[in-house]
Amino acid sequence: MLQKMMARVPNATIICMGATYGVYPNRTGFDDSTGIYNNLGLSTLDYGRALADMCRLNGFESFVVGEECGWNINNIRAFVNNDGAYLHPNATGGARMAEVINRKIG
pLDDT tens digits, residue range 76-100? 889 988 777 777 889 999 999 999 8
- pLDDT score at 92: 96
d(CA 40, CA 92): 31
**In the predicted structure, residue 105 carries a pLDDT above the cut 60:** yes
- The angle at the Cα of 83, spanning 75 to 90, to the nearest 5 degrees, equals 50
- pLDDT score at 5: 86
Amino acid, res. 53: D
Q: Give the rounded percent of residues in the chain with a pLDDT score beyond 90.
A: 14
Mean of per-residue pLDDT scores for the chain: 80
Q: What is the pTM of this model?
A: 0.69
- pLDDT score at 27: 55
Q: How many CB atoms lie within 10 A of CB 21?
A: 29
- pLDDT score at 94: 94
Task: Work out the average pLDDT over 25-45.
Answer: 64
